[in-house]
């Protein structure tokens, strides 16, 4: 298993060296999540570091999305969900925080682009408006900045008032990223953000992530192991609701300590 | 490879295809049967009633003499009735649906309420008439006025409005609500700025269909004691009133006495049907238009 | 032009009225009362709503003799002892207003070509169990061997009671007699059944002569066909002739001017409209007496 | 708070949003009331049921003080207004069951076949015409059906069945059947369309014709949904009023003769309320007893349908 | 790109050598398929060989399933579908054949196991009964043989009359394979047959395919490139409704002639 460099031929995007050791932004301990009787997460102990890109991989149904959605408590939109254990965000108990507040700090991007049936402008301005920003001038600025950060500004600046549904899939996904960025989150959770996109769009979004991680901590779920290898600093491998392995991305792909990880990243199942 | 089973001889396939074609014909005729009846019914009613249909008939007052009779009073009565039914069912119906669909915790209470609404939708309309008679007409002493009729019919169609609105809310892609929630919106903010706007056309469709049900109802009004012979026009929700279906009922019953009444009943039926077709048609149109988008 | 007339009329007599008048009761009287109400609302008082229903005399009295009951109850029989008692108990003062004369009419199908006349005895046989008559041939061997389909109004109706008391002399009807709430149903049942026979007020026959035949009744001096001429208190059809009334809640008349006004109107106009709805008129003097009573009520 | 006109940096916006969030606003306090208000609205439906049950029960109990329960439920003679009244509900039950039975005989097969056609055979375009047409049929007020039954179907039937009376139970039964075709067709179609497409594909991939797929896979898989639609159809027919009130007359015969007039429970209620609804009499209370019976009957039907349909939903 | 042997560490299943050159069983020429306005397949020219395993790979939405379903004309169950071009099955025009007949020769296994809501026995006996076999003895034999071929017999022989829904996902998928085999098809089309299965079941089904290909030609769609590499003789790479490359599986993975293929099999998109 020494040939894994093949998985990420474009390592150009990765920041390899780090000068200071980063602080923990999320910390989950003995975290368990059930959907009714389905035990989706089992005793998850993970520490996610600030200003890193953390990738979560694993076969379908292993609990990747559930874990991600626990971090901003979106998992609770399903009323059947029960949670036990602890989860901290910046050192404070997130499971008992005000969700509205938590979520405005922890943004999320979904697998399928999900713009609102509104104009491009209103999509981006939605979050700031929610949080009480009404002044046109400020909103204009936020919209522009966010779209720029999402590398979408040039493509849409002339049609801000047309419907978001008119955009291509890749553009929609970047719009959703811009929408999240508009409220200046400190973390961005991304659940297979490129799996519905074409190669070119995928590449754009990957570049974008690399750009963003200067300001924002990113946690990304992906089923594409090469992607994980390309863009992440650290990777967690989930299986059947458990963390099999969590380590530097290089070590996960080059010298996994578990045979299961080895089998998975080499496509022997999943 | 040996093929021990002579599974598909040409003649057998031909026979199976023939059966299929014959069945298709039978099924299609069954589906067309409804359409056919609709056409017969409409032709029958038009041929009977068209000659009585005139501007005078539409704008005239009720009368026992067929040549003078008009249905303006019943038309106005229907409008006043809607003036009660529309706000009541909209507010209570959509409100209940939002509660049940978006706020209520899954549990015994919600399941009970939901089952209850389902069963309410299946209670014969005449039982609602008895409820209205006992509560609104007698106990609250409204008498047979628009308000009593309107509230009775509101209760009657509420379950339909609630269920339809719930379905509309449920059909809003979950991802839209998720997107809003993930931006830190409060529950009501998400409902107000994302879910309701998206669900609205579909909620309206359901509401219009339910309203047309209310417009066509007769049995509860008969029980409430809504008169058929009423000459003054109703001018508000505290006035006594009559409606188109009651007029049809009266004229159909008395067509044995005055043959021309059958024509009046038919003419009134045309008016009622055309209004309902317009209402239902617009609802179906709304639905088709918006269901393609989502 | 019409407007002007009614305007002067109301200026002369009472000023223009509003409110409602509730009339229920006899289905027999209904056509006459409906006509009166309609012309009253169109020609006299546009803002008064007169609502006429037809639950039947007995049913109507139950709605009339209660607190906040109807203002008028039409009746095809006089008020009964126990009903007067109820009125007393409820503290309701009741005034009987005679409107017109009706004749209890027996009708058969147009295609019935065998019945030329019937005697009261035969009618009793048809409608009661004791007569043991079930087929037309039981009355006359020459008539068809077909079951007689006897029908009539149900017990809500004064007509039923008149028939039960005056014709049947309180013998029970056969259970097979088809009793209906609506006269319209009876009309169509007989019109559609060759072997049917039914009874009701003359008005319902008069309006449906093209569908029904009236049976002449032989009271002993040869067959008499009911008609506006023979129906009279001393006419040839006198035996089956009965006055029809409307009963007024006097209290209501005192409280509500529109009720009193309408009461006067019907007394003045009943005779005019009796003929076209199938009733024989009553002597002017009888109406005048009641009118005087009402005028006094108004002056109180 | 940063001035609005000033160009705001990310951190300023972040601060502004955090600031706004910690603010106690009127909106936030109002929002906490919303669920409670909405709950009250939703509770109204429960109240309606309670109202219906309480009203029917109290008056029914009054009725049973005057008429023994046994007499009511086993009596074959109904003479509510007679000098010697009898209150047996069986004639009404018979009328109700017979008319609903006829209706189901018409609507069951036709509705099911139409549903198969719509769900399995019809092209999208054909369905887009037929379904709305069926919905229009379902939207026709029952009073119009009543008129149709009385002035068209009955005279038409009399040409074939001369012994048919002017008011009879056959014609309204048939028309009620027509009335519930759309309901059965539409609910059965829903059930069939809920059968996962992969089932059909599985069958088609084995070389089945559409008919074979429909009858061997789709209908059995949707069976409980279909049965539920039938039960709901019956329930609807049991409660139907105006068609029978107009076209079936008011004879309280305890017989089985389709050509004769029969009264249903609903038509009895109409007759009594339009005749004598004066409170206090036994006849008046009988109204509630009959309504209670009708209510119980339809409720049971609906519960059965619900149960069957739920079982169906559990499979997928 | 010389390290691609890594993709299929378990080549044990592959039959490497072929003595005679196999005959064409499917041949499509200038095949185009539209869903309404979506042009899903564009001028597909492919020849699929008898008694081989042909894999079809490509990113989501590229037309893999559409192509597969054209071969047994299941694609036509969607009424919006239009087809142009020619497609032959064993030398006869399949687009104008009687579908019922075609499909009894060309079996299909779907992504999600789709047993009928009947007993295990009735599921397998369904096809033979359709084709007029009623005799209990013959049916028993067919059911037993088919279940044996699908390597399921031992697991279910004692509960043939219990519902097929009681089986695990992997068992259900093998039941569906047995159901197809019961009418003795000459071809088996498989659309991502293992993507919903766990590693153990996946392995079983792969072994089964290897067993079956002695008698049956197999065309399999898979998103798992390692799987394609493991089990197929020949691989077609689809992109945007077109065939980018079609060759021996080894050459697709080792020396792809197109850069797109190279990018895809190396996870640079998809
Ligand atoms: N809404 C839900 N209701 C019930 N069970 C659920 C729900 N969502 C997920 N699960 C179950 O929880 C487990 C974990 O699901 P999760 O969505 O987190 O997996 P995943 O790793 O994201 O899979 P995928 O790669 O398919 O997205 C699975 O067994 C799944 O069946
Ligand atoms: N029923 C349908 N209606 C309309 N378009 C369809 C339909 N099915 C597929 N398509 C379109 O046809 C194209 C090819 O779809 P197809 O299902 O063949 O892709 P695929 O390669 O099998 O993808 P996947 O890996 O996701 O299964 C896609 O663009 C898809 O959107
Ligand atoms: Mg997921
Ligand atoms: Mg596919
Ligand atoms: O309706 P009646 O006149 O018979 O009481």
Answer whether residue E12 shows pLDDT above 50.
no
Q: Residue range E108-134: average pLDDT?
A: 90
Share of chain D above pLDDT 90, in %: 49
Where residue C144 falls (left for φ over 0; alpha for ψ -120 to 50; beta otherwise) is beta
Beginning with the edge strand found earlier in the chain, give each strand of the sheet holding A24-35 in spatial order. Answer: A38-49, A24-35, A81-89, A92-93
What is the residue-averaged pLDDT of chain D? Answer: 87
Does residue B123 share a domain with residue B249?
yes
Does residue B178 share a domain with residue B40?
no
Answer whether residue B186 shows pLDDT above 50.
yes
Does residue B173 share a domain with residue B47?
no
Interface of B with C in 201-230 (CB under 8 A): 227, 229-230
Q: Kindly state whether residue A2 falls inside one of the protein's structural domains.
A: no
Answer yes or no: do C193 and D167 touch at CB < 8 A. no
- How would you write A201-262 as a 3-class SS string? HHHHHHHHHHHHCCCCEEEEECCCHHHHHHHCCEEEEEECCEEEEEEEHHHHHHCCCCHHHH
Q: Report which bound ligand comes closest to the CA of A75.
A: 1
All chains having 3 or more CB pairs closer than 8 angstroms to chain B: A, C, D, E
The per-residue pLDDT for D313 is: 62
The per-residue pLDDT for B154 is: 96
The per-residue pLDDT for C235 is: 85
Answer yes or no: do B175 and A183 touch at CB < 8 A. no
Answer whether residue E22 shows pLDDT above 80.
no
Least confident of B217-221, B229-233, C31-35: B229-233
Asked whether the beta carbons of E158 and E131 are under 8 A apart, the reply is no
Residues 6+ apart with CB under 8 A from C24: C52, C53, C54, C55, C59, C60, C63, C64, C70, C72, C73, C74
DSSP string, chain E: ---GGGG-TTGGG-----SSPPPEEEEEEEEEEEETTEEEEEEEEEEEETT-EEEEE-STTSSHHHHHHHHTTGGGGSTTEEEEEEEEETTEESTTS-HHHHHHHEEEE-SS----SSBHHHHHHHHHHHTT---HHHHHHHHHHHHHHTT-HHHHGGGTTSBGGGS-HHHHHHHHHHHHHTT--SEEEEESTTTTS-HHHHHHHHHHHHHHTTTSEEEEE-S-HHHHHHH-SEEEEEETTEEEEEEEHHHHHHS-SSHHHHHHHTTS--
Which tokens in the block code for residue A35? 């959907």
The per-residue pLDDT for C15 is: 67
The per-residue pLDDT for C265 is: 94
How far apart CA D94 and CA D256 sit, in angstroms, is 8
The per-residue pLDDT for C42 is: 84
CA atoms within 13 A on the CB side of D57: 6
Write the pLDDT tens digit of every residue in A1-49.
Answer: 333 334 333 333 344 444 456 788 999 999 999 998 889 999 999 999 9
What is the residue-averaged pLDDT of chain B? Answer: 88
Ligand 5 pocket, C76 CB below 6 A? yes
**How many beta carbons lie within 10 A of that of residue B18, not counting itself?**
11
Write the pLDDT tens digit of every residue in D35-82.
Answer: 999 999 999 999 999 999 999 999 999 999 989 999 999 988 888 777
Write the pLDDT tens digit of every residue in A228-265.
Answer: 988 999 999 999 899 999 999 999 988 888 888 888 88
Q: Residue range C230-235: average pLDDT?
A: 86
Nearest residue (by CA) to ligand 1, atom 12, is: A40
Q: pLDDT band at D310, cuts 50/70/90?
A: confident
The per-residue pLDDT for C197 is: 94
Q: How many structural domains compose chain A?
A: 1
DSSP string, C61-90: HHHHSSTT--SEEEESSPPPHHHHHHHHHH
Q: pLDDT band at B283, cuts 50/70/90?
A: confident
Answer whether residue D8 shows pLDDT above 70.
no
Answer whether residue E17 shows pLDDT above 90.
no
The per-residue pLDDT for D125 is: 86
Answer whether residue E194 shows pLDDT above 90.
no
Answer whether residue E18 shows pLDDT above 50.
no
In terms of Cβ atoms closer than 10 Å to its own Cβ (0-12, 13-18, 19+), residue B139 is exposed
Query: Reduced to 3 states, what is the DSSP secondary structure of residue C108?
Result: strand
Q: The CATH number of the domain where B177 resides is what?
A: 1.10.3720.10
How far apart CA A247 and CA E270 sit, in angstroms, is 25
Write the pLDDT tens digit of every residue in E77-112.
Answer: 888 899 999 999 998 999 998 888 899 899 999 888
Does residue B207 share a domain with residue B244?
yes
Taking alpha carbons only, the member of C107, C54, C114 closest to residue C214 is C107
Provide φ and ψ at D150, rounded to 5°.
Answer: -75, -45
Answer whether residue B4 shows pLDDT above 50.
no
Q: Who among D77, D167, D275 is closest to C185 (CB)?
A: D167
Nearest residue (by CA) to ligand 5, atom 1, is: C27
| Residues, CB-to-ion distance under 5 Å, ligand 3 | A 65
Q: C178 vs D278, which has greater pLDDT?
A: C178
Which residues form the domain of A121?
Answer: 23-265
Q: Residue range E183-196: average pLDDT?
A: 88
Residues 6+ apart with CB under 8 A from A121: A143, A160, A161
Question: Which value does ipTM take for this structure?
Answer: 0.81
| Sign, CA torsion B28/B29/B32/B34 | negative
Q: Report which bound ligand comes closest to the CA of E223.
A: 2
Q: Residue range B176-182: average pLDDT?
A: 91
Q: How many structural domains compose chain B?
A: 2
How far apart CA B110 and CA B103 sit, in angstroms, is 10
Q: pLDDT band at A269, cuts 50/70/90?
A: low
**Which residues in D lie closer than 8 A to residue B184 (C-beta atoms)?**
21
Q: Report which bound ligand comes closest to the CA of C25.
A: 5
The per-residue pLDDT for E265 is: 81
Asked whether the beta carbons of E61 and E35 are under 8 A apart, the reply is no
Write the pLDDT tens digit of every residue in A151-160.
Answer: 889 989 899 9
Q: pLDDT band at D277, cuts 50/70/90?
A: low
The per-residue pLDDT for D5 is: 43
Write the pLDDT tens digit of every residue in B78-108.
Answer: 999 999 999 999 999 999 999 999 998 878 8
Answer whether residue D184 shows pLDDT above 80.
yes
How far apart CA C153 and CA C164 sit, in angstroms, is 11
Q: Residue range E176-195: average pLDDT?
A: 90
The per-residue pLDDT for A5 is: 35
Which residues form the domain of B79?
Answer: 55-293
The per-residue pLDDT for D15 is: 78
Answer whether residue D28 shows pLDDT above 50.
yes
The per-residue pLDDT for E11 is: 35
The per-residue pLDDT for B291 is: 60
The per-residue pLDDT for C16 is: 80
How far apart CA E236 and CA E234 sit, in angstroms, is 7
Which tokens in the block code for residue A82? 């029960």
Answer whether residue D179 shows pLDDT above 70.
yes
The per-residue pLDDT for E21 is: 61
Does residue B30 share a domain with residue B78?
no
The per-residue pLDDT for A8 is: 39
Q: Kindly state whether residue E11 falls inside one of the protein's structural domains.
A: no
Does residue B88 share a domain with residue B46?
no
DSSP string, B136-197: IIIIS---SBHHHHHHHHHHHHHHHHHHHHHHHHHHS-HHHHHHHHHTT--HHHHIIIIIHH
Nearest residue (by CA) to ligand 2, atom 11, is: E40
Question: Nearest-5° angle of CA C258, CA C261, CA C262?
Answer: 85
Taking alpha carbons only, the member of C289, C276, C258 closest to residue C51 is C258
Write down the residue that tokens 């159909």 correspond to.
B252
Asked whether the beta carbons of A49 and A234 are under 8 A apart, the reply is yes
Q: The CATH number of the domain where E30 resides is what?
A: 3.40.50.300
Write the pLDDT tens digit of every residue in C105-122.
Answer: 999 999 999 998 999 999
**Which residues in E lie closer than 8 A to residue D315 (C-beta atoms)?**
117, 165
Q: pLDDT band at C103, cuts 50/70/90?
A: very high
How far apart CA B78 and CA B242 sit, in angstroms, is 7
* Residue C147 at interface with chain D, using a CB cutoff of 8 Å: no
Write the pLDDT tens digit of every residue in A158-213.
Answer: 999 999 988 888 889 999 999 999 988 999 999 988 876 777 778 888 888 888 88
């Amino acid at each position: 298993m020494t040939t894994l460099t093949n998985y990420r031929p474009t390592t150009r995007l990765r920041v390899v060296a780090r000068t200071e050791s980063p602080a923990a932004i999320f910390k989950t301990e003995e975290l368990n999540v059930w959907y009714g009787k389905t035990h989706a997460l089992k005793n998850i102990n993970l520490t996610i570091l600030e200003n890193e890109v953390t990738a979560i991989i694993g076969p379908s149904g292993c609990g990747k999305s559930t874990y991600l959605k626990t971090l901003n408590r979106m998992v609770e939109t399903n009323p059947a969900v029960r949670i036990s254990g602890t989860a901290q965000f910046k050192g404070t108990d997130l499971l008992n925080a005000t969700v509205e507040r938590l979520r405005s700090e922890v943004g999320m991007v979904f697998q399928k682009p999900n713009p609102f049936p509104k104009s491009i402008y209103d999509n981006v301005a939605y979050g700031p408006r929610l949080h009480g920003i009404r002044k046109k001038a400020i909103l204009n600025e936020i919209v522009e900045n966010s779209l720029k950060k999402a590398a979408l500004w040039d493509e849409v600046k002339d049609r801000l008032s047309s419907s978001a549904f008119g955009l291509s899939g890749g553009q929609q996904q970047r719009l959703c990223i811009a929408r999240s960025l508009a409220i200046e989150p400190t973390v961005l959770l991304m659940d297979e953000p490129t799996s519905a996109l074409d190669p070119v769009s995928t590449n754009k979004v990957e570049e974008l992530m690399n750009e963003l991680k200067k300001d924002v901590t990113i946690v990304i779920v992906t089923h594409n192991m090469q992607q994980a290898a390309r863009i992440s600093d650290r990777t967690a491998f989930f299986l059947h609701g458990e963390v099999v392995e969590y380590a530097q991305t290089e070590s996960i792909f080059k010298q996994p300590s578990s045979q299961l990880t080895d089998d998975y990243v080499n496509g022997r199942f999943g | 490879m040996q093929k021990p089973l002579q599974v598909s001889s040409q003649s057998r396939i031909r026979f199976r295809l023939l059966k299929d074609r014959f069945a298709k014909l039978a099924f299609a005729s069954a589906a067309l049967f409804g359409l056919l009846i609709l056409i017969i019914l409409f032709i029958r009613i038009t041929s009977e009633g068209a000659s009585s249909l005139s501007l005078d008939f539409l704008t005239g007052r009720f009368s026992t003499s067929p040549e003078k009779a008009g249905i303006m009073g019943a038309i106005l009565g229907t409008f006043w009735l809607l003036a009660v039914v529309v706000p009541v069912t909209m507010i209570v119906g959509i409100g209940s649906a939002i509660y049940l669909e978006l706020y209520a915790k899954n549990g015994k209470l919600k399941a009970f309420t939901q089952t209850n609404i389902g069963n309410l939708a299946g209670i014969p309309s005449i039982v609602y008439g008895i409820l209205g008679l006992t509560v609104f007409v007698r106990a609250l002493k409204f008498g047979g006025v628009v308000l009593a009729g309107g509230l009775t019919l509101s209760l009657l169609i509420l379950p339909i409005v609630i269920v339809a609105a719930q379905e509309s809310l449920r059909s809003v892609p979950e991802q839209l609500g998720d997107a809003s929630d993930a931006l830190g919106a409060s529950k009501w903010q998400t409902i107000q700025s994302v879910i309701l706007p998206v669900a609205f056309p579909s909620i309206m469709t359901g509401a219009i269909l339910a309203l047309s049900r209310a417009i066509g109802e007769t049995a509860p009004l008969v029980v409430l004691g809504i008169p058929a012979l009423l000459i003054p026009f109703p001018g508000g929700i505290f006035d006594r009133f009559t409606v188109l279906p009651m007029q049809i009922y009266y004229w159909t019953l008395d067509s044995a006495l005055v043959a021309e009444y059958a024509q009046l009943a038919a003419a009134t039926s045309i008016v009622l049907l055309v209004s309902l077709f317009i209402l239902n048609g617009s609802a179906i149109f709304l639905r088709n238009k918006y269901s393609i988008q989502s | 032009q019409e407007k002007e007339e009614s305007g002067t009329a109301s200026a002369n007599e009472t000023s223009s009225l509003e409110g409602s008048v509730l009339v229920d009761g006899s289905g027999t009287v209904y056509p006459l009362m409906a006509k009166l109400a309609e012309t009253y609302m169109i020609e006299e008082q546009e803002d008064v709503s007169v609502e006429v229903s037809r639950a039947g005399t007995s049913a109507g009295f139950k709605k009339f003799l209660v607190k906040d009951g109807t203002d008028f109850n039409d009746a095809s029989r006089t008020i009964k002892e126990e009903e007067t008692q109820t009125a007393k108990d409820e503290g309701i003062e009741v005034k009987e207003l005679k409107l017109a004369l009706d004749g209890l009419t027996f009708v058969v199908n147009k295609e019935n070509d065998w019945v030329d006349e019937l005697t009261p005895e035969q009618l009793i046989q048809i409608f009661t169990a004791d007569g043991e008559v079930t087929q037309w041939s039981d009355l006359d061997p020459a008539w068809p061997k077909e079951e007689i389909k006897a029908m009539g109004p149900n017990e809500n109706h004064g007509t039923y009671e008149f028939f039960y008391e005056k014709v049947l002399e309180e013998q029970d009807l056969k259970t097979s007699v088809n009793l209906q709430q609506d006269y319209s149903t009876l009309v169509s049942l007989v019109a559609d059944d060759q072997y049917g026979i039914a009874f009701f007020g003359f008005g319902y026959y008069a309006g449906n002569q093209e569908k029904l035949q009236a049976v002449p009744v032989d009271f002993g001096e040869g067959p008499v066909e009911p008609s506006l001429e023979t129906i009279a208190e001393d006419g040839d059809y006198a035996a089956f002739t009965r006055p029809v009334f409307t009963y007024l809640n006097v209290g209501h008349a005192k409280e509500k001017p529109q009720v009193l006004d309408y009461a006067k109107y019907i007394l003045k106009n009943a005779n005019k409209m009796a003929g076209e709805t199938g009733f024989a008129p009553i002597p002017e003097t009888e109406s005048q007496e009641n009118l005087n009573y009402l005028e006094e009520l108004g002056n109180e | 708070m940063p001035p609005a006109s000033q160009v705001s940096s990310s951190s300023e916006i972040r601060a502004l949003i955090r600031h706004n969030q910690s603010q106690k606003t009127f909106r936030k306090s109002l929002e906490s009331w919303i669920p409670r208000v909405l709950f009250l609205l939703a509770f109204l439906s429960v109240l309606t049921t309670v109202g219906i049950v309480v009203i029917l029960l109290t008056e029914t109990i009054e009725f049973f003080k005057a008429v023994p329960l046994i007499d009511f439920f086993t009596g074959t003679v109904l003479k509510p207004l007679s000098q010697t009244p009898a209150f047996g509900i069986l004639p009404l039950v018979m009328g109700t069951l017979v008319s609903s039975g006829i209706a189901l005989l018409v609507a069951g097969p036709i509705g099911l076949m139409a549903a198969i056609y719509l769900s399995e055979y019809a092209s999208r375009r054909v369905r887009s015409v037929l379904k709305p047409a069926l919905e229009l049929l379902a939207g026709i007020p029952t009073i119009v059906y009543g008129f149709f039954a009385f002035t068209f179907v009955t005279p038409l039937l009399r040409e074939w069945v001369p012994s048919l009376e002017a008011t009879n139970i056959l014609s309204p039964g048939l028309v009620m059947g027509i009335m519930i075709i759309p309901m059965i067709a539409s609910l059965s179609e829903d059930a069939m369309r809920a059968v996962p497409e992969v089932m059909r594909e599985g069958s088609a991939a084995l070389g089945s014709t559409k008919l074979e797929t429909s009858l061997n896979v789709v209908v059995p898989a949707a069976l409980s949904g279909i049965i539920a639609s039938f039960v709901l159809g019956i329930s609807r027919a049991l409660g139907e009023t105006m068609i029978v009130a107009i076209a079936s007359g008011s004879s309280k015969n305890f017989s089985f003769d389709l050509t004769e007039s029969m009264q249903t429970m609903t038509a009895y209620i109409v007759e009594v309320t339009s005749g004598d609804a004066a409170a206090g009499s036994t006849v008046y209370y009988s109204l509630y007893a009959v309504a209670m019976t009708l209510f119980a009957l339809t409720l049971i039907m609906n519960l059965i349908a619900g149960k069957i349909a739920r079982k169906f939903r559990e499979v997928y």
